A and B are shown apart, each in its own frame.
Chain A
Amino acid sequence: MVTLTINGKQVQAEPGMSVLEAAKANNIMIPHFCYLEDVHQVGACRICVVEIEGARSLQASCMVPVREGMVVRTNTARVKRARKVLYELMLSDHPRNCLSCLRNQNCEFQKLGELIQISEFRFEGEKSKSFVDLSSPSIVRDSSKCILCRRCITVCNEIQGVGVLNVQKRGFHSVIGPADELPLSSVNCTNCGQCVMVCPVGALLAKDVTERVWDAIFDPHKRVIVQTAPAVRVALGEEFGYPPGTIVTGKMATALREIGFDEIFDTNFAADLTIIEEGTEFLQRVTAALTGKNAVLPMITSCSPGWIKYIEHEFPQELDHLSTCKSPHMMLGALAKTYYAEKIGVDPKDIFVVSIMPCTAKKFEITRPEMFINGMPTVDAVLTTRELARMIRDAGIEFQELPDGRFDDPLGFSTGAADIFGTTGGVMEAALRTVYEIVTGREIPFERLEVTPVRGLSQVKEAAIKIEGTKPEYSYLEGVEVRVAVTSGLSGAKRLMKEVAEGTSPYHFIEVMGCPGGCIAGGGQPKPTTRSIREARMRAIYAEDAGKPKRKSHENPFVAKLYEEFLGEPLGHRSHELLHTHYVPRGRYNELEGTRIPIQTK
């Protein structure tokens, strides 16, 4: 341990800690702004400056490591004056229309202002940037609000390895964005929304479509169907004061009914269905490979639209590895406008399907032409967890006081295997539970069905499962060791895809989720999302699974009924029509050939 003095107090800190972290660990809060725990530490904003004895100038406390005997003062007149001027200068280049900003009351710059307290705007002058990029269906980039903290650059480049955002130009003209002022829709942005998650202000936002959804709800001719993803129910509570990891499935269902949705379905139902389709597809590929036919392995999951767009840009030659399954909410949308529409005798044109997702990439996904059926979108609007929270507040609903409600049949029932789709490793675990049992007739040999090697937050997780005691029809699988890998975050995906592209991948089946930690930490989830919050949401997901009477997708009776009444068999003709899709090789630089949508100037 290192001993140093902060504000006259002797404190202890771990070697390697920054002064800012050491102060925090000892309950001394140094106002800071661009610093973001575990993510971003570059000293760009200088708000966290302190006096350090022996140093001539003020030092950014997030950048200075602690030293034995260091004497630090965080609250002197000099520090306070510097901090205030820095804040005022940043404010002089920031619009002050907070009341019309989506981040109002939830803005880190406002919070900093509460600490610093200014009584007048001393510096008035030219504003450096003024354009809004509305080209992407997922993410809105409002440059006028950007305060150049560079957090988005760190996540886009270092954490996600995508590198769409960087500083362009210099000085007063600096702007964070893609090359050559290209709009987000024309570059290799995956729409993952991790930049939105770390933006302290309203410069990067998920595109808000709550008004469109309200319009549909208030339209008497529309039947409005809503579905919610597995990761929403373990995070939505945070928007209403619950601690991270609180499961609010029942209250969420009630809130959706009070808002005025006609049917409340569960994306989890379609997650169970996905496992049947994808599991069957995997078995088909393995069978082909073992019987000397053509088969592309490893097969890779296709539930995460951020990941899908990433592979289309970065590895367009490898698209055959993707499962052809649509993501679960797209499957449910397709069923709502066919199977369910038929059941209730409503023209699918009068059905409006809304998906509540932890995800910004799904907003793009529903606009893909290959997702349309008979010229019709199958999901009409995607709301993030945060947008749903806004609608609940807007409707005057006291969330904490709500009784527990439930989803509607027939597309509202799910097993525990579907719940875990919301976390990294979950799709793999759900698939293994089902595939192993189909092949051997026995449960997968893990205690309480918990496939622990694929759980947790490590970037890449692996497991090898030996198949023994097969049913006669699967005898060719006897003794085969199925090797699987799981990754979340696009840097991890790149790692595994390099092996796939080189033909050296040792796996049969790979699960990829675009966001680090999986959907629980998606770009549409409540802010902030830190490591400990990821862990809490993950625990909640596994608790939801453990508490379910049925925990294997193939035991979902409504899925069985769906095949009986409508689909026929897994990978059958109707499945292919409604539940499967294809992918678009985009290439890394297709942005240079794509049409340019001009960026709007305010």
Chain B
Amino acid sequence: MDAKHAAQCQCGEESEEEKLARIAQVVDDFKGQEGSLIQILHLAQAIYGYLPLHVQQLIAERLDIPLSEVYGVTTFYSFFSTKPRGEYTIRVCLGTACYVRGGAEIVKRLSQQLGVEVGGTTADRKFTLEVMRCIGACGLAPAVTVNDTVMRQVNPDKLNRILEMCS
């Protein structure tokens, strides 16, 4: 992500209009560059938190491409979400190495502790639980990411500590 569009956390500070205006600016900056849709969606998600239909509509309209095409890309990549996410997204790696070293158990425990299924968000909008297929950190297995931070060799019995870090 280039510096100009790097997402700064402005939780609670930025209004809906300001967010949409920033997204519109992103689209205009990339317009005309072939293959820029994924990058735009990536930045838009960073600004808005997720990609609801009206944000995708804004992007489609400004790029003059069909909404069905934008939606197709959004639903193809698991990184994009069309539903609101929690403040913290916890992703458990289930690549081969993490899986054999207990990734599945971490998913099970987190799901119990947070009270949500994989893909779900807690009622207080604090946590979203997801799984992923290998982040290339096999030496750290089992790995978990919290937003952009990678947690190494996670012990299922010590998940509380990770959750507490997020308060």
Interface residues of A (CB under 8 A from B): 157, 162-170, 177-180, 187, 588-589, 592
Given contacts A167-B72, A168-B71, A170-B76, contact A179 B53 (CB under 8 A): yes
A180 to B70, CA, bound (A): 10
Query: Does B81 belong to the interface (CB within 8 Å)?
Result: no
**Contact B61–A179 (Cβ < 8 Å):** no
- Residues in B102-121 with C-beta less than 8 Å from chain A: none
Q: Which of B53, B57, B65, B75 contacts A168 (CB 8 A)?
A: B75
Question: Which residues on A sit within 8 Å (CB–CB) of B70?
Answer: 179
B40-77: contact bitstring with A at CB < 8 Å (1 yes, 0 no)?
A: 00000000000001101100010001111111100110
Closest A residue to B82 using CB positions: A180
Chain A proximity of B75: nearest CB distance (Å) = 5
Chain B proximity of A110: nearest CB distance (Å) = 29
Chain A proximity of B81: nearest CB distance (Å) = 13
A588 to B67, CA, bound (A): 10
Closest B residue to A175 using CB positions: B75
**Contact A157–B53 (Cβ < 8 Å):** no
Question: Which residues on B sit within 8 Å (CB–CB) of A177?
Answer: 68
Question: Which residues on B sit within 8 Å (CB–CB) of A179?
Answer: 53, 56, 67-68, 70-72
Closest B residue to A169 using CB positions: B75
A163 to B66, CA, bound (A): 5
Q: Which of A166, A169, A170, A180 contacts B66 (CB 8 A)?
A: A166
**Contact A592–B66 (Cβ < 8 Å):** no
Sample 26 A-B pairs with CB under 8 A, ordered by A number.
A157-B69, A162-B66, A163-B69, A164-B68, A166-B66, A166-B71, A166-B72, A167-B72, A167-B76, A168-B71, A168-B72, A169-B76, A177-B68, A178-B67, A179-B53, A179-B56, A179-B67, A179-B70, A180-B53, A180-B71, A180-B82, A187-B68, A589-B57, A589-B67, A592-B53, A592-B54
Our count of residue pairs bridging A and B at CB distance below 8 angstroms stands at: 47
**Contact B68–A592 (Cβ < 8 Å):** no
B70-93: contact bitstring with A at CB < 8 Å (1 yes, 0 no)?
A: 111001100000100000000000
**Contact A178–B76 (Cβ < 8 Å):** no
- Tell me what chain B mostly uses at the interface: helix, strand, loop, or mixed: helix
A163 to B70, CA, bound (A): 11
Q: Which of A166, A167, A589 contacts B61 (CB 8 A)?
A: A589
Chain A proximity of B65: nearest CB distance (Å) = 7
Query: Among B53, B54, B68, B82, which residue has the most Cβ atoms of chain A within 10 A?
Result: B68
Q: Which 4 A-B pairs have the closest CB atoms?
A: A163-B66, A179-B71, A166-B68, A166-B72
A210 to B71, CA, bound (A): 36
A228 to B51, CA, bound (A): 48
Question: Which residues on A sit within 8 Å (CB–CB) of B68?
Answer: 163-166, 168, 177-179, 187
A178 to B57, CA, bound (A): 13
A177 to B68, CA, bound (A): 8
A513 to B61, CA, bound (A): 25
A338 to B56, CA, bound (A): 48
Query: Among A162, A166, A588, which residue has the most Cβ atoms of chain B within 10 A?
Result: A166
A164 to B68, CA, bound (A): 6
**Contact A164–B66 (Cβ < 8 Å):** yes
A157 to B82, CA, bound (A): 24
Interface residues of B (CB under 8 A from A): 53-54, 56-57, 61, 65-72, 75-76, 82
Closest B residue to A589 using CB positions: B57
Chain A proximity of B79: nearest CB distance (Å) = 12
A166 to B75, CA, bound (A): 11
A180 to B51, CA, bound (A): 12
Given contacts A179-B56, A589-B61, A592-B54, contact A166 B76 (CB under 8 A): no
Chain A proximity of B63: nearest CB distance (Å) = 12
A182 to B70, CA, bound (A): 14
Question: Which residues on B sit within 8 Å (CB–CB) of A178?
Answer: 67-68
Chain B proximity of A599: nearest CB distance (Å) = 15
Question: Which residues on A sit within 8 Å (CB–CB) of B56?
Answer: 179
Question: Which residues on A sit within 8 Å (CB–CB) of B54?
Answer: 592
Closest A residue to B69 using CB positions: A166
Closest A residue to B75 using CB positions: A169
Extra contacts besides A166-B69, A170-B75 (19): CB < 8 Å: A157-B66, A157-B69, A162-B66, A164-B66, A166-B72, A168-B68, A168-B72, A170-B76, A177-B68, A179-B56, A179-B67, A179-B68, A179-B70, A179-B72, A180-B71, A589-B57, A589-B67, A592-B53, A592-B54
Question: Which residues on A sit within 8 Å (CB–CB) of B61?
Answer: 588-589
Chain A proximity of B117: nearest CB distance (Å) = 17
A488 to B57, CA, bound (A): 28
Chain B proximity of A580: nearest CB distance (Å) = 33
Chain A proximity of B71: nearest CB distance (Å) = 3
Query: Among B53, B56, B71, B76, which residue has the most Cβ atoms of chain A within 10 A?
Result: B71
A170 to B80, CA, bound (A): 13
**Contact B72–A592 (Cβ < 8 Å):** no
Question: Which residues on A sit within 8 Å (CB–CB) of B65?
Answer: 163
Question: Which residues on A sit within 8 Å (CB–CB) of B69?
Answer: 157, 163, 166
A426 to B70, CA, bound (A): 38
A163 to B57, CA, bound (A): 13
Closest B residue to A164 using CB positions: B68
Question: Which residues on B sit within 8 Å (CB–CB) of A588?
Answer: 61
A67 to B61, CA, bound (A): 42
A168 to B66, CA, bound (A): 13
Question: Which residues on A sit within 8 Å (CB–CB) of B75?
Answer: 168-170
Question: Which residues on A sit within 8 Å (CB–CB) of B57?
Answer: 589, 592
A178 to B60, CA, bound (A): 13
A163 to B76, CA, bound (A): 17
Closest A residue to B67 using CB positions: A179
Query: Among A168, A177, A178, which residue has the most Cβ atoms of chain B within 10 A?
Result: A168
Chain A proximity of B23: nearest CB distance (Å) = 16
Chain B proximity of A419: nearest CB distance (Å) = 36
Closest B residue to A173 using CB positions: B75
Chain B proximity of A129: nearest CB distance (Å) = 14
Closest B residue to A167 using CB positions: B72
A589 to B53, CA, bound (A): 11
A165 to B67, CA, bound (A): 9
Question: Which residues on B sit within 8 Å (CB–CB) of A157?
Answer: 66, 69
Query: Among B54, B57, B72, which residue has the most Cβ atoms of chain A within 10 A?
Result: B72
Query: Among B65, B66, B70, which residue has the most Cβ atoms of chain A within 10 A?
Result: B66
Chain B proximity of A590: nearest CB distance (Å) = 11
Question: Which residues on A sit within 8 Å (CB–CB) of B66?
Answer: 157, 162-164, 166
A164 to B69, CA, bound (A): 8
